Structure 1
């Protein structure tokens, strides 16, 4: 595999990152024949020597791990995957598409970016290429629904993350006999018991420089999914349901139950605004812990002092429990969708590979990766923590993307952050004005 980083305009030779096709024995690492026809991707065709270009937002270590993951495909087919990553992907992909030089495959970090290109006719329909029978074997309905954009299956999902998680200090839970809450009411009762036992239940931090407030929006999105059907969430994300609505105000009421109770939160409400999000998990890892629970996405382990398997001995996690049992177990998260922009046999072969769990095995085994594929083996995950999160992902009855990521930037990365930060800072004062400010910013 070749990797190019747009920031420095450097094309790195394939041999540095991958095997570059068959090995010296004339057989691939997956046991396929050297004629490159006995694989499940090329439909019996010899496509060796062909090239597939992929452009995405994966850079640095992520790009190197992706290179490892595509090695089996390159060795089985003789097709060279040439990957280019850029921090300016979101801007450049539109420029390239409209300029007539799109990549073969675009790796979108979220589906909202793909929608405009679907509308422009730049994206191929995976239903026509792979068929829904195959796609339903690979993904649950929630993922297929998310890939249904503009009347087509706009791509195949490759990577996922889970946000609906609560991390906790495992030794204290074991010593005090605390049980994992199965409902929101049980979560509040557990918090009350912790206070009675002399502990601070929660550590929360939303400071993130120019992005301050995104932690609060994540909480609210999780709550919206737990008190309303997914269709209501979708209307809200699309701007059809206003922020200054009974539905969203109800979510704020649930948020206040934890955030505005100074007995519950380390540093109180003021501490929430002042604490950097990356530091907020540390209190649950201390001995003795300064707080016992922290709601954050699966990536937060990278900010903890413990690493690898050591995390699992100090910190556990549980699914943020439901509020309305009739809504099942919704999961808030994110993911990368790979969309084909060119139609050639080698591109079709690559997309069939990326729709299969085996395409993620090389990255899953390295850690820090969740696969949305149904045929991904839990045994590939290197730690119990990652394995457990993967099971939450697979068992989700509803999966929805981070709503702020799908909203127009002026809202999702602007007023939603700033006005909710003001809401927390001012303890809910001027709520009508704050919510109206968000609604007015919608383009």
Structure 2
């Protein structure tokens, strides 16, 4: 039994991806999904009712349960060399505990470092896709001069308002500092109130606090629901020309929206800032961890490390595989574009707020982003986030 947070259509797609394995081996694989996965997995583990395998959308939660002895170290099951046949080093690094244990294998990912735009306007105006941050700002200025509003920024998300801003900060951190700095920040060794993190907020201010840049002005960032963020791009005529959001935003577009280079909306990679750091990519995703040990569980886990295990889902669309042996030909055209960005990445890192302790990552970091938009100073915001870190 595999327990995870995939529900509805995603759950049936995952079950379909398991069918070839079931047919080949005769091992029955049952998937059960829950919208309350995060709460239930902890209850089940602590109550002695852990599933055979869990699909964690938050690696931080996996690490907590590993620390409590509920998640198995896979170093006895796979050698690192075996995993390197399928995964880039970045993915293995992101599955490790501080003690060196490999806590899981990556299965599904979505790419966050994307900017959505209306191709027809870009073509009509002769706008080039920017490949550096400076070009991105110059393009924004050009759009303002041409009478357009460059950016739609939408952060309202009920009790989770603020996460949109954390994604921007994380993307910028990876573009201005080496990944080791990002990793120190994620575990609390680098404080928020540091020159490195402060610099990322200052870069973000270059876009968000330029009133002409943002549809509705800076104040509207807090009131527009995140799911509506790309709608101004596909309005007729477009009300804004760029929106930075992960690949999942396509699910929120109006019915009938045509996505792609000839369509109503397309995407480009959020450009690099420091050329020495190359093209980093920010991701979220799901990692599979073993919580019981039997031969058939080891066989399923081995299957999950192969691109073949993702094929049944990839062909139906809606996600990107981190496996290097997942064939680009299996993807629908849209998803193939995300996969190419991921394959060409110089560095891949997981969403930092999902890795930080909950009090910060889904707490003070979110509220700090709200305070930032509201005009509070970094001298107040950053020390307050640090103070909330459980030490």
**Pairwise TM-score range, normalised by the shorter structure:** over 0.9
1:360 to 307, 310, 325: 310
Match in the other structure for 2:238: 289
1:412 & 1:55 partners in 2: Cα distance?
Answer: 24
1:218, distance to aligned residue in structure 2 (A): 0.7
Structure-2 change in CA distance of 1:240 and 1:159 (3 Å): same
Match in the other structure for 1:431: 378
Note if 1:140 corresponds to 2:88.
yes
1:421 & 1:310 partners in 2: Cα distance?
Answer: 31
1:155, distance to aligned residue in structure 2 (A): 1.4
**Are the aligned partners of 1:332 and 1:399 in contact in 2 as well (CA < 8 Å)?**
yes
Q: How do residues 331-350 of structure 1 correspond to structure 2 at under 5 angstroms?
A: 331-350=281-300
TM-score of the superposed pair, with normalisation by structure 1: 0.85
**Range 197-206 or range 95-104, more displaced:** 95-104
**Are the aligned partners of 2:259 and 2:334 in contact in 1 as well (CA < 8 Å)?**
no
Q: How do residues 220-235 of structure 1 correspond to structure 2 at under 5 angstroms?
A: 220-235=169-184
Bigger relative CO (Cα 8 Å, ≥ 6 apart) = 2
Q: CA RMSD in A?
A: 1.5
1:368, distance to aligned residue in structure 2 (A): 0.8
**Are the aligned partners of 2:16 and 2:312 in contact in 1 as well (CA < 8 Å)?**
yes
**Are the aligned partners of 2:59 and 2:354 in contact in 1 as well (CA < 8 Å)?**
no
1:308 & 1:346 partners in 2: Cα distance?
Answer: 44
Structure-2 change in CA distance of 1:377 and 1:68 (3 Å): same
- 1:15-35 Cα shifts (integer Å, max 9, x gaps): xxxxxxxxxxxxxxxxxxxxx
Give the number of equivalent residue pairs: 388
Corresponding residue SS for 2:152: coil
2:234 & 2:258 partners in 1: Cα distance?
Answer: 14
Match in the other structure for 1:56: 4
1:101, distance to aligned residue in structure 2 (A): 2.7
**Are the aligned partners of 2:257 and 2:264 in contact in 1 as well (CA < 8 Å)?**
no
**Are the aligned partners of 1:410 and 1:441 in contact in 2 as well (CA < 8 Å)?**
yes
1:419, distance to aligned residue in structure 2 (A): 2.0
Note if 1:328 corresponds to 2:328.
no
**Are the aligned partners of 2:258 and 2:265 in contact in 1 as well (CA < 8 Å)?**
no
Question: Greater CA radius of gyration, 1 or 2?
Answer: 1
1:394, distance to aligned residue in structure 2 (A): 1.4
1:112, distance to aligned residue in structure 2 (A): 1.1
1:138 & 1:255 partners in 2: Cα distance?
Answer: 35
TM-score of the superposed pair, with normalisation by structure 2: 0.96
